[in-house]
Structure 1
Amino acid sequence: MNNLSEVVNTARKAFNREVTKPLDFRVKQLKAFHQLLEENGSELVSALQKDLKKPYPEALLAEVESTKNQIKGALFDVHKWVQPETTETNIILLFDKTYIFPQPYGVVLIIGAWNYPFLLVAVPLLGAIAAGNCVIIKPSEKAPATAKALSSLIPQYLDKDCFHVVTGGVPETTALLNERFDYIFYTGSPAVGKKIREASNKYLTPCTLELGGKCPVYIDDEVDIELAAKRIIWGKMLNLGQTCVAPDYILCSKKTEERFIELAKKVLLEFFGAEPENSPDLSRIVNEEHFERIIKFLNCGKIAVGGDYDPKEKYIAPTILTDIKESDSVMQEEIFGPVLPILRATTPDEAIKFINKREKPLTLYLFSSNKNVLDQFLMSTSSGSMCVNDTVVHLSVDSLPFGGVGMSGMGTYHGKYSFDTFSHKRSVLVRSLNAIGEYLGKARYPPYSNAKTRLLKKFLVKRPNLIPPYLSELLIFVFGMLTALTVKEIFAIVPNETLPRPL
């Protein structure tokens, strides 16, 4: 189907037929998605290598295996995620049912990014499936091999009416944004994120924006600098720096800077050899546009390590810059490449002040064994996430929500948070029709009086939930006995409403 309106309309009709709502259907689709990865993992890895020359372990573990594990997690727990969640009530509603019912939004749009072109489509997709939505998937045109693989494989495994892949570039994305969706999930740059947000305003469509920003690293003088250097260099050079949570710049003292540079040279030699351009473990920059953008940063400050590049290969050597000024171009935008500037901050206070003058980062990295320093950063900075004494690995913990704050994004996902993102939390109150419930609430009816107002004020005041829900039936029974109701009347007023069963 070439007509995008027809694609969206097909998905809308499937959702309106409630195809995706039964739990059995969701589980079946998740299992099919897992089967896709089991049977085509090698094809996806090959596509990732074509697009970014990703090393095999990075492509396999960071994209394919990571997605498989999140699908397994969803299969383990989706039957619990779909259950209504009971809530506390006030005294007037003591004998009634209140709960939160997770409900799929409908037809959702997922727009992927080029740096992890499979992972950043697949993880939100599995959350949308688990939540019971129909999905239109728009992979990044800057990773054409992966986009082609997705458009070929997904129709072979997932329901063809409910899940669609739309390929193409800016015109196709623009056309999709003119359609009406019930939720939009976008991963990419803040500049494009603003356009997505503008487009979503047409229908007041809720959206998640997974953006980026300059993720700072502060290294204090007392930390194990050898271990810090190894972990920072690994996180920075993963995917050749083309990771939204890659360390973007370092703040540290002069003494720590000198020691870090000395150790970074050793680590880079250990990781990539004397000729890193020939290492099979380094990716390449995705295209010429980004290559040209990044090499301009090499004119900033002083090159302490690296600095080599090859336009034909779109290769840039792992590079460390010193003597950087705040006004330098390398500090004006997210680097998204293997260039790591170091700036001076002799104390935690100086580092925090520097970080807080800028937009809130997606992730903040702290290397310190001092609890007071950790507490200071936790209380005095704001970021989407924070990782202490390591880099990037926090993304592997799907029990932690992942997302930005401010210009680094809005909304979270991973694990159950992916399910929550694609679920509307519907509030439900089911009132009983028994005599006791009516007796407790009758003071609300006109004619009003001061006595009724005082009584309602006491009933509605917030207090600890001292009466568990399962005691409500017992209290009704006791109340009935105390008011001399007959046994027949008592059992007639005991509420028998139950929460809806999982689909």
Structure 2
Amino acid sequence: MQEQDIEQAYSAKRAFFDGGSTRSYAFRVAQLAKLKAAIKRREDEILTALHADMCKPVYEAFSSEVGILYEEIDYAISHLKRWMRPQRVGTSLMLQPSRSRIVAEPRGVVLIIGPWNYPFQLLIAPLVGAIAAGCCAVLLPSDMAPHTAAVVAKLVGETFDSCYVSVAPGSGAQLGPMLIEGFPFNHIFFTGSPKVGRQVMGMAAKHLTPVTLELGGKSPAIVHADANLRVSVRRLVWAKFFNAGQTCVAPDYLLVHHSVKDEVVELAKGCIREFYGDDPERCADLTRIVNRRRFDTLMGYLADGRIAHGGRSNPEKLYIEPTLLENVSLEAPIMQEEIFGPILPIIVYDSLDEALAIVRRNRYPLALYLFTQSKRVERFFVEQVEFGGGAINNALLHLVSPKVPFGGVMASGTGSYHGRRSFEAFSHHKSILSTSTLVNLSFFFPPYTSAKLKLARWFMR
């Protein structure tokens, strides 16, 4: 795509937004309904594309990439009128006779940059918020999932006027900087790695463009001595190997109390065999690695510990067996970087303080999962660890509900979305003070007498 074409696309959206068409409730709801209908119409094509890009099982692809969007769109439609309504707030006594309100207005023309691991959902979910907020949008899909990117382009092209929402075709590595630095978008929503997130934030600073960054990090799963092990390990293994571990909130490593470590490892081996069979390479329910570069990186991690289970691979099929890794040093490469693959390092701890110190070596994870029956242990980790969100006695599922925000903290991201937070991410909240003209108090105006100062001190005590 030539820079001139990008400029024309951007200018068309700016003109469309300035024309005011996106601001009405009726328009926004209609576009959300059109989006859902388009996804339903092309559902099979979307699932086929996801399988072509990463061999995603239909169940995982539908539940995590399509079905979750239906719920997100329905929630936005049913709550949008209330979200758009100006919020009346109290007014301090010294400002009377006045009334105060907060008005949510659309930010304008926004840029949404999607990742490759959930290439449909993580591009369209922010779009739901942008539409609900009344914005125009440019979408930049990941070129590492080309089949899904093609379906997105087709779906958006047939559903929306290009002056309203469009897809920027081409290489994200080339187009991203061109879009971010070349045009003053009113907001940028990026999902991807912390490394690229820093670059996006730096480039956005040229135009002082606000950003939402949904990044990642080393999200710990902690299994305490008092956990219900059979239930906990089953949930943990499912969450870790869902999408072959290529999930930003996947349990990145396992911290397990020394007293239950051996039992946890044996239970995990049993769950892997139950879920994927004795030969997971033949299992249709296991996603493949996205490309050879990622495959080679993951295979390099296997030298960082002793393989307790798994470890087999097939580079031609980009297949890596669900793997448990023991005797892993905290200094090993696998413990310095987000794994993003089907390898689970297992670290033993003796005390809560020791576990906390390990977590803080990779501070600000996107998620934390704690398996315990103790409220004291739960309070300890929830209060002591800064993390984006998480679950107690579960994993992964906290991001499903549109009723709670999803986002990171510091290195794992800035800002949040889902449900109302998506609407707020793409809105500017404008404060308005309305004052009656029937009374015009001289309190604020010169000359500033001692009596006025005395009144100010009384009002602002």
Shift in Å, 1:38? 1.6
Instruction: State the AA in 2 paired with 1:456.
Output: A
Which residue number corresponds to residue 268 of structure 1? 272
Pairing of 1:9-48 with structure 2 (within 5 A): 9-48=11-50
1:401 aligns with 2:438: no
User: d(CA) in 2 for partners of 1:321 and 1:327?
Assistant: 15
CA contact (8 A) 1:212 1:245 kept: yes
User: d(CA) in 2 for partners of 1:272 and 1:355?
Assistant: 30
User: d(CA) in 2 for partners of 1:434 and 1:306?
Assistant: 79
Instruction: State the AA in 1 paired with 2:16.
Output: A
SS in 1 for 2:433: strand
Shift in Å, 1:302? 0.5
Q: 2:174 aligns with which of 156, 159, 171?
A: 171
Which residue number corresponds to residue 95 of structure 1? 97
Shift in Å, 1:357? 2.8
Shift in Å, 1:93? 2.3
CA contact (8 A) 1:91 1:460 kept: no
User: d(CA) in 1 for partners of 2:239 and 2:263?
Assistant: 19
User: d(CA) in 2 for partners of 1:426 and 1:73?
Assistant: 24
Which residue number corresponds to residue 278 of structure 1? 282
Count of residues in correspondence between the two structures: 457
SS in 2 for 1:399: coil
Q: Deviations over 1:219-268 (max 9, x none)?
A: 11011111111011000010000000000001122332211110011111
Shift in Å, 1:89? 1.1
SS in 2 for 1:58: helix
- Which one is further off, 311-320 or 15-24? 15-24
CA contact (8 A) 1:115 1:242 kept: yes
User: d(CA) in 1 for partners of 2:168 and 2:337?
Assistant: 30
Q: 2:360 aligns with which of 356, 360, 378?
A: 356
Shift in Å, 1:16? 1.1
Which residue number corresponds to residue 72 of structure 1? 74
* Aligned-residue CA RMSD (Å): 1.1
Instruction: State the AA in 2 paired with 1:209.
Output: L
Report the TM-score when normalising by structure 2. Answer: 0.97
CA contact (8 A) 1:444 1:456 kept: no
Q: 1:139 aligns with which of 135, 138, 141?
A: 141
Which residue number corresponds to residue 201 of structure 1? 205
Which residue number corresponds to residue 471 of structure 1? none
User: d(CA) in 1 for partners of 2:355 and 2:97?
Assistant: 55
1:431 aligns with 2:438: no
Shift in Å, 1:386? 2.3
Shift in Å, 1:100? 0.6
Which residue number corresponds to residue 342 of structure 1? 346
Which residue number corresponds to residue 444 of structure 2? 444
1:115 aligns with 2:128: no
Shift in Å, 1:4? 1.0
SS in 1 for 2:265: helix
CA contact (8 A) 2:222 2:254 kept: yes
Shift in Å, 1:443? 2.1
1:377 aligns with 2:381: yes
CA contact (8 A) 2:90 2:99 kept: no
SS in 2 for 1:167: coil
Which residue number corresponds to residue 327 of structure 1? 331
Shift in Å, 1:450? 2.2
CA contact (8 A) 1:53 1:283 kept: yes
User: d(CA) in 2 for partners of 1:447 and 1:175?
Assistant: 55
Q: Deviations over 1:162-214 (max 9, x none)?
A: 10101221112221122221100000000100110011000100000000010
CA contact (8 A) 1:29 1:159 kept: no
Instruction: State the AA in 2 paired with 1:260.
Output: V
CA contact (8 A) 2:96 2:435 kept: no
CA contact (8 A) 2:111 2:189 kept: yes
User: d(CA) in 1 for partners of 2:450 and 2:326?
Assistant: 74
Structure 2 unpaired stretches of 5+ = none
Which residue number corresponds to residue 163 of structure 2? 161
User: d(CA) in 2 for partners of 1:413 and 1:19?
Assistant: 24
1:458 aligns with 2:445: no
Report the TM-score when normalising by structure 1. Answer: 0.89
CA contact (8 A) 1:90 1:460 kept: no
Q: Deviations over 1:258-294 (max 9, x none)?
A: 1111001111111111111111100000000100000
User: d(CA) in 2 for partners of 1:158 and 1:78?
Assistant: 20
CA contact (8 A) 1:247 1:365 kept: yes
Structure 1 unpaired stretches of 5+ = 462-503
Which residue number corresponds to residue 248 of structure 1? 252
Instruction: State the AA in 1 paired with 2:248.
Output: C
User: d(CA) in 1 for partners of 2:279 and 2:305?
Assistant: 24
